[in-house]
């Protein structure tokens, strides 16, 4: 067999790709990869078939050939007790399982390699365990400080060991039902061990060579530890080990105040710890709209959580069981003592053990795997998805990217990844929900915008809850009145933001939302009230006005 690459003019859609692929199949071509985006096709062809047959087949489809090249094929390594797959996936989280399920639907032979616990971050150490404990913490806090006159509620001492045991039982149940049981259900192979590339078509696991036509790297990310002098000598916690504590610390310092630091810091405040949040940037949630940041910081201060922003870390030491963090703010040095320190300064991609250079896979400055709009790495037979790319760190983004990777790698669909309307949620109280562009981002790309900001004391549901801390902000393109960003700080912000996501994704306008009915005394009604406030003074409207 010989391998050819043909540059073609005139292909404009997936249908064009199908025409070219069918024509090549008719002359016996194998392993055909056609891309109208790239204007090329690659395939294997028997040595006995002449180049003139290639020209004739493609020209009959009415596309114009620019160049035909014979290229060297990557030799398939001889296997020793190994296996050959259509699709070999490294990792076993949401991206991996989404891709594996979709690939098996195409009839592919699929293998999955996992070096640790099946299920990845979300079910084991991320979303599921943190959110169930966050719910417990919010109930405990509400019992301690409920806002209603006439209700007398008290909270006893928190039994964290019992809460963690219940959390672990839920994790075990969901890991079994949503991951382990699906392996047999869909019929793909699980290979336990650490994978490293030894060629662009082969990896080694436990000394065994495994080859595949296509690969997916979905190895996720782990906690990033900043270079603070002395930190290597301190027994600090990460988001994983914090959720394994069996006693609530009296004092907890959280280094880093992104969504992980905020969620877990408030959780332990609600369980009874004295919590201090510290971060380098001056604005809490530095990538969010300033109104969102200010509303969250105000709520945290009101709850008794200390927030210190705009600092430099000088050093940290451990004295017995006490951790002492020294920092500088505005030229003034300050030391914070605590019983536990949580490091929540971001995530680092799991790429160090993969030997990516052997497969010619490029990485970025933070060692994240780089990909194009189709999920391909610099090696077009190797795809990637999820947290290892350092894109939006959400389980639903990983699952979405994994499915597209399988559609493209196995289904040959050339789907593009669209992250223009990714909702983000922070599970604090009040919660934060965002989608689309911030006001600053919209202006930076040349959109003339007008905003509508609605404080929650204008939302009947918030008034009925006696909880009016927060706001809803809309970012609107003044040229066409389309809503390009929705930003919410409120109870149940994560539930409301889905409606905002639909508005942003499908280009809905202010009029589209004002012309719809929102159920009264729901938080999502606030979204409609914010649209009414775009051109009106909400304080002068009656309830249910619209």
Which CATH number characterizes residue 293's domain?
Answer: 3.50.50.60
- At 153-175, the pLDDT tens digits run 998 999 999 999 999 999 999 99
131 annotated to bind ligand: yes
Label residue 74 by pLDDT band (50, 70, 90).
very low
Answer whether 392's CB lies under 8 Å from 424's CB: yes
Quickly state the pLDDT bin for 494 (edges 50, 70, 90): very high
Q: Does residue 257 have a pLDDT over 50?
A: yes
- pLDDT band, very low/low/confident/very high, at 417 (cuts 50, 70, 90): very high
Residues labelled as active-site residues: 11, 13, 16, 63, 122, 127, 543-544
Q: Is 387 annotated in some ligand binding site?
A: yes
Does 222 score more than 50 pLDDT? Answer: yes
417 domain residue, yes or no:
no
Strand pairing of 30-35 and 189-192?
Answer: unpaired
Task: Check the annotation: does 257 bind a ligand.
Answer: yes
pLDDT, mean of residues 326-350: 97
Is residue 256 part of an annotated ligand binding site? Answer: yes
Distance between CA atoms of 426 and 256, rounded to whole angstroms? 15
Q: Tell me which of 322, 343, 364 is where a domain ends.
A: 343
Q: Is the pLDDT of residue 80 over 50?
A: no
Flag whether 230 is marked binding: no
Is it the case that residue 448 has pLDDT exceeding 60? yes
pLDDT at 73: 45
| Annotated binding-site residue? 159 | no
Residue 33 φ then ψ, to 5°: -125, 105
Counted domains in the chain? 4
45 is a domain residue:
yes
Query: What DSSP line would sit under 144-194, residue for residue?
Result: HS---TT---------HHHHHHHHHHHHHHHHIIIIIHHHHHHT-EEEES-
Tell me: is residue 369 an annotated ligand-binding position. Answer: no
Residue 77 has pLDDT above 50, yes or no: no
Q: Is the pLDDT of residue 78 over 50?
A: no
At residue 544, the pLDDT reads 63
Full residue range of the structural domain in which residue 386 is found? 85-222+349-410
Q: For residue 136, which of 163, 162, 107 has the smallest C-alpha distance? A: 163
Q: Is the pLDDT of residue 189 over 50?
A: yes
Does residue 232 have a known ligand-binding role? Answer: no
Same domain, 293 and 312: yes
The CATH number linked to 6 is 3.30.70.100
138 annotated as a binding-site residue: no
**pLDDT tens, position by position, 2-52:** 888 899 988 877 778 888 999 999 999 988 888 776 788 988 888 888 888
Q: Does pLDDT of 511 surpass 80?
A: yes
77 domain residue, yes or no? no
Do the domain assignments include residue 415?
A: no
Cβ within 8 Å of residue 162, ≥6 positions away:
none
What average pLDDT does the segment 239-261 reach?
96
- Please check whether residues 322 and 381 belong to one and the same domain: no
Q: In the predicted model, what is the mean pLDDT of residues 343-355?
A: 96
Backbone angles phi, psi at 538, to 5 degrees: -60, -35
Please count the other Cβ atoms lying within 10 Å of the Cβ belonging to residue 385: 32
3-state secondary structure of 265: helix
- Give the mean pLDDT of the chain: 93
Cα 234 from Cα 322, distance rounded (Å): 10
Domain co-membership, 195 together with 254: no
User: Do 115 and 65 sit in the same domain of this protein?
Assistant: no
**C-alpha pair distances (Å), 498 with each of 72, 180, 522:** 49, 30, 14
Element (DSSP H or E) covering residue 140 = helix 127-144
Q: Is the pLDDT confidence value at 143 over 90?
A: yes
Contact 160, 246 (CB under 8 A): yes
- Does residue 78 lie in a domain region? no
Domain edge (last residue) among 291, 318, 343: 343
- Tell me which DSSP letter residue 467 carries: -
Residues 507 and 435 both lie in one domain: yes
% of the chain exceeding 70 in pLDDT: 97
Residue 97 and residue 149 in one domain: yes
Range in 11-20, 197-206, 507-516 with the lowest mean pLDDT: 11-20
Same domain, 165 and 280: no
Q: Which of 164, 181, 171, 195 is nearest to 120 (CA)?
A: 171
- Cβ atoms of 215 and 354 within 8 Å: the answer is no
448 appears as a binding residue in the annotation: no
Q: Is 179 annotated as a binding residue?
A: no
376 shares a domain with 281: no
Kindly state the average pLDDT of the residues 99-123.
96
Q: What are phi and psi of 86, to 5 degrees?
A: -75, -40
Q: What is the pTM of this model?
A: 0.84
CA dist list (Å): 404 to 211, 390, 408: 22, 17, 6
């Amino acid at each position: 067999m010989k391998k050819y690459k043909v540059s073609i003019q005139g292909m404009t859609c997936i249908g064009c790709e199908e025409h070219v692929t069918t024509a090549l199949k008719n002359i016996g071509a194998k392993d055909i990869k056609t891309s109208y985006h790239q204007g090329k096709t690659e395939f294997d062809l028997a040595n006995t078939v002449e180049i003139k047959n290639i020209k004739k087949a493609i020209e009959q489809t009415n596309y114009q050939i620019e160049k035909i090249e014979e290229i060297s094929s990557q030799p398939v390594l001889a296997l020793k007790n190994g296996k050959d797959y259509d699709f070999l996936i490294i990792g076993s989280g949401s991206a991996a399982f989404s891709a594996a399920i979709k690939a098996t639907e195409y009839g592919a032979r699929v293998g999955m390699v996992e070096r640790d616990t099946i299920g990845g971050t979300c079910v084991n150490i991320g979303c599921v365990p943190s959110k169930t404990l966050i719910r417990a913490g919010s109930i405990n806090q509400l019992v301690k400080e409920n806002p209603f006159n006439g209700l007398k509620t008290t909270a006893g001492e928190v039994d964290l060991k019992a809460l963690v045991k219940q959390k672990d039982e839920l994790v075990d149940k969901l890991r079994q039902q949503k991951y382990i049981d699906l392996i047999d259900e869909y019929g793909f192979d699980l290979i336990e061990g650490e994978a490293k590339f030894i060629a662009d078509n082969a990896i080694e696991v436990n000394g065994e060579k495994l080859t595949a036509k296509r690969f997916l790297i979905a190895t996720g990310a782990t906690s990033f530890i900043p270079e603070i002098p002395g930190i290597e000598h301190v027994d600090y916690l990460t988001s994983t080990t914090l959720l394994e504590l069996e006693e609530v610390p009296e004092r907890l310092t959280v280094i880093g105040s992104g969504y992980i630091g905020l969620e877990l810091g408030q959780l332990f405040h609600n369980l009874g710890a004295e919590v201090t949040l510290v971060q380098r940037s001056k604005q809490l949630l530095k990538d969010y709209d300033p109104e969102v940041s200010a509303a969250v910081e105000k709520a945290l201060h009101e709850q008794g959580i200390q927030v210190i922003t705009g600092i430099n870390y000088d050093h940290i030491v451990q004295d017995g069981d006490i951790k002492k963090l020294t920092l500088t703010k505005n030229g003034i040095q300050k030391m914070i003592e605590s019983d536990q320190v949580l490091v929540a300064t971001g995530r680092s991609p799991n790429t160090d053990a993969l030997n990516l250079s052997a497969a010619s896979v490029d990485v970025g400055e933070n060692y994240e795997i780089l990909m194009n709009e189709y999920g391909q790495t610099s090696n077009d037979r190797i795809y990637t998805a999820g947290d290892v790319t350092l894109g939006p760190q959400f389980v639903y983004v990983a699952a979405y990217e994994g499915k597209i990777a399988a559609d493209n790698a196995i289904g040959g669909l050339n789907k593009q990844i669209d992250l223009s309307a990714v909702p983000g949620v922070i599970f604090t109280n009040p919660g934060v929900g965002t989608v689309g562009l911030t006001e600053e981002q919209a202006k930076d790309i040349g959109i003339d915008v007008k905003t509508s900001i609605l404080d929650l004391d204008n939302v009947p549901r918030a008034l009925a809850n006696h909880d009016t801390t927060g706001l809803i902000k809309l970012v609107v393109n003044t040229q066409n009145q389309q809503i390009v960003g929705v930003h919410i700080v409120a109870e149940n912000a994560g539930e409301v933001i889905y409606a905002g996501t639909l508005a942003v994704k499908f280009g809905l306008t202010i009029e589209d939302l004002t012309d719809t009915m929102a159920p009264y005394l729901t938080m999502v009604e606030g979204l409609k009230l914010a649209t009414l406030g775009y051109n009106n003074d909400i304080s002068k409207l009656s309830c249910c006005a619209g």
